[in-house]
Amino acid sequence: MSIEISVLRGRIENAAEAVGPLWPLRTFNSANPLSGFESLPFHEAVQRAGHLFRGRGYPAADLFRRAWERGDIDPEILRRHLRDAGHDLAPSAALDDLPRRDPTPDEPEDERLNRIMSKWLAAFFDHGQAAWPMPNRSDGFFASWRILAPFDRDIPGIRQTSDLPSTKLDAFIEALDGVPEEEWETIFTHHLAALPGWVGLIRWQSRGTAGEWEKAKPITLGGYLAVRLTVARLLGEPLLPEDAPANGEANPDAQTLPAVVLAAWEETYRHRLIDDLTQPPSRTGVDGTGDRPDAQLVFCIDVRSEILRRHLEGLGSYETHGYAGFFGIPMEHESYAPGGGVGERVKACPPIVDPRHRIAERIAPGCEHEAEAYNDWAGIEGTRRTLLKTLKKDVAAAFGFVEGSGGFYGIAMALRTLLPHRVFDGLKSLRERLPGPSSFTEVTVDRPDAPDPEDALPLGLSPEVKTVYAEAAFRLMGWTDRFAPVVVFTGHGSQTPNNPFKSSLDCGACAGNPGGPNARVLAAICNEPAVRDALRSRGIDIPEDTVFLAGQHNTTTDEVTLFVDDEDPPVDPDALKQLRDDLAAARNGATAERVNSMDDQMWTDATRETERRAADWSETRPEWGLAGNAAFIVGPRRLTRNLNLRGRSFLHSYDWRVDDSGTALETILTGPLVVGEWINMQYYFSTVDNAVYGSGSKVTHNVSGKVGVVQGNGGDLMTGLPLQSLYVDDETPFHDPLRLFAVLHAPVERVDMILNRQDTLKRLFDHGWVALAIMDPEENDRVMRYQPGGSWAPMSADEQPAAAVLPDA
């Protein structure tokens, strides 16, 4: 049998589309677990994925029942959806007819094969957790496995390496002998979908952004399949088991009852949101005119920012804007390295964007003394860590180290468990006495005179690029004049110990990293006189007295840290103090709202409670992250300024009046909105079936190779969010699994023009992954909702339900 490599590669690539990429824990990114099915209507996609992954695609009956009892499903809307779908049921009867629980799927026939492959993949992908790494990994997965496979007693029939195929192609030839080519893709799909976590990690690495990781541990889907099919042959297992879910077919015309109830739940929320947006009280407030505000703050569009923005605006003359948290800088961030070494490099832009620049932290002029003090401490700390690692892993010293250090570690554990407040205070005091690199470094926004020709990414930014990024930021926000004396670009990050999924709480627009470095870059650019002169010639007039600052919002404690030299501040000290005082007051209000939503009790000092959560190593719910997200609003702040959106809406600033070509809106829809859809779908599917699409309970998590999390002592990598990020307890959800609702303040013709150019974006709306409505400013903000296929229908006031009431039985 002969196989044409190009045909084989094409079949593998087609089969792999069913499995989405999975980022490692260090930069865990939100992604739609059904991203490979987005070319299909949502209902058909969840059916096909259900067959393939054995997962539920709609909320369980108890989730719907809770929403009904809270009044979140309007009876009339549900009645209309039932009638339109051909169900002759009353709303309460429909809820009673919902299946209570999906039957637990049987263990797959090839579970033994899955366990063996998970074991080998864990060894190959290990990123420093194992004391003895798997040898020969740089040769690739198939080659390194082939050398060691004779030592694996779980695989029969191998006595020596020569018993195995010599190459990957030989492995496929032996495995597919006698199998018609038209069946290959089905076989490959089954074997790739059998371990969507590990395969998703392979897909992430194959995107070409893994850098040194990829060079040290090269693996391809072809290499993985070559090993898996060889092991399956040696185990005597069929290439396609009889229960293979890849054989399942979807019925696109079937209107299942859960799909109908979900649509009614979503429409109820969407109508009520539109009703709030169109009420006269919400049309007042800052609209870009009037008196000059004391300060303007630009936050990430993240739903957690909405709460803090609302509280801050109520305290004084403040104006806030929303912009994707990487602040438009497609960069790789190189952190400061003590002693002049090379710092850690991390991607600091969205997953769908490739970095174009490298921004490094360097010692700022006049800060050499602070850097020297930090270097001394960092050197001592580095020596301590190295010594402890050696003692713990050294065969001769391990037992004595455990005996001698047990008391110390016991006291430390007791403090972290019983007195986490004290731990937080101690760490804060230490940071104040020995500030981190952000206090004595600056970001390198200028290109060096002699760039490194061997570095793939250029260091710094050219003068022309600086102006382009600054202009893009202001135009996307519709902000071309009326600048306050102080403008703060505010990134965000989370604070939590002992949390493998910490990066899922950081900035998704920064690839799961904090957004402070990006804020520092944009602030530095906008403070340059040359950039301001160039912007002025392009119609963006920044006053001479305007100073741009950078900050970072801690989403666990709601504290905002301003990166300012207090000894020589660039703004009036009194104004800076007032801003900090108001940020602290806004923090108190935001933490009270956020913490009380997490617990039944009312906290007398919510701010202190958030500090406990930030320091408590046993805290399973340090914060809710983006749980609750349901809407993406693009428009001026005046539409939402006086509304309590309960931290459920992404808010992106936009002014249609300064975007004649629609370029800014198109960038928002093809960038931030798409990332928002990924986030929304990850939260949706992790909620409706946490065991399959989520990560299960944190209680039984184990980190595998520092790259992912498994349940128990092995198996597939978990692909979604843990149960505690979505549920108040094992049965009560905090996140409402609703598909994203995009509301645009823009003319309908402009939106049509963009959709006609962006087929991928249009499919998300046509196929029901995202719902779309516009408030047309050329029609007195008349609300129109998008209909699949490209038409628009009015979302009239008489269709909207009244205020939420508990439904009758």
DSSP string over 752-786: HHHHHH-HHHHHHHHTTSEEEEEEEGGGTTEEEEE
Strands 295-299 and 318-322, sheet pairing: parallel
Distance CA 612, CA 623 (A): 11
Distances from the Cα of 546 to the Cα of 40, 303, 363, angstroms: 49, 28, 25
Crossing angle for the helix pair 672-688 and 663-670, to the nearest 10 degrees: 30
Number of CB atoms found within 10 A of residue 568's CB: 8
Going by the DSSP 8-state scheme, the letter that residue 318 receives in this structure is E
Helix (H) or strand (E) run with residue 487 in it: strand 486-493
Q: What's the distance, CA 372 to chain centroid?
A: 36
Structural Rg of the chain based on CA atoms: 28
SS3 state of residue 550: strand
59 contacts 258 by C-beta, under 8 angstroms? yes
Closest CA to 770 of 656, 640, 650: 650
Distance CA 506, CA 554 (A): 9
Going by the DSSP 8-state scheme, the letter that residue 714 receives in this structure is S
Tell me the CB-side half-sphere exposure of residue 15, using CA atoms within 13 A: 26
Phi-psi region of 784 (alpha: psi -120 to 50; beta: other; left: phi over 0): beta
**Residue 272: both structure tokens together:** 């009520």
Number of CB atoms found within 10 A of residue 463's CB: 13
132 burial level (CB within 10 Å; 0-12, 13-18, 19+): exposed
**Residue 448: both structure tokens together:** 């060096």
SS3 state of residue 590: helix
> H-type helices in 515-671, by residue range?
516-526, 529-537, 573-598, 606-615, 663-670
Q: What is the pLDDT of residue 291?
A: 83
Residue type, 45: A
705 contacts 27 by C-beta, under 8 angstroms? no
Distance CA 665, CA 334 (A): 31
Q: What is the pLDDT of residue 795?
A: 87
Distance CA 335, CA 469 (A): 22
Q: What is the pLDDT of residue 106?
A: 66
**Residue 604: both structure tokens together:** 């007398």
Distance CA 546, CA 527 (A): 8
511 contacts 585 by C-beta, under 8 angstroms? no
Q: Identify the residue whose tokens are 């010594």.
A: 387
Q: What is the pLDDT of residue 402?
A: 73
For 510, residues 6+ apart whose C-beta sits below 8 A from its C-beta are 325, 326, 347, 348, 349, 350, 491, 518
Tell me the CB-side half-sphere exposure of residue 789, using CA atoms within 13 A: 4
Could you tell me the sign of the dihedral formed by the alpha carbons of 566, 568, 572, 573, in that order? positive
Residue type, 360: A
Residues in the chain, pLDDT under 50: 247, 282-286, 797-809
Four-CA torsion 300, 305, 308, 312, nearest 10 degrees: 30
Q: What is the pLDDT of residue 102?
A: 62
Instruction: Tell me phi and psi for residue 16, to 5 degrees.
Output: -70, -15
Q: Identify the residue whose tokens are 């074991």.
A: 119
Q: What percent of the chain stands above pLDDT 70?
A: 92
Q: What is the widest separation between alpha-carbon atoms in the chain?
A: 82
146 contacts 234 by C-beta, under 8 angstroms? no
Distance CA 585, CA 579 (A): 10
Strands ordered across the beta sheet of 295-299: 318-322, 295-299, 486-493, 547-554, 560-562
Could you tell me the sign of the dihedral formed by the alpha carbons of 217, 221, 222, 224, in that order? positive
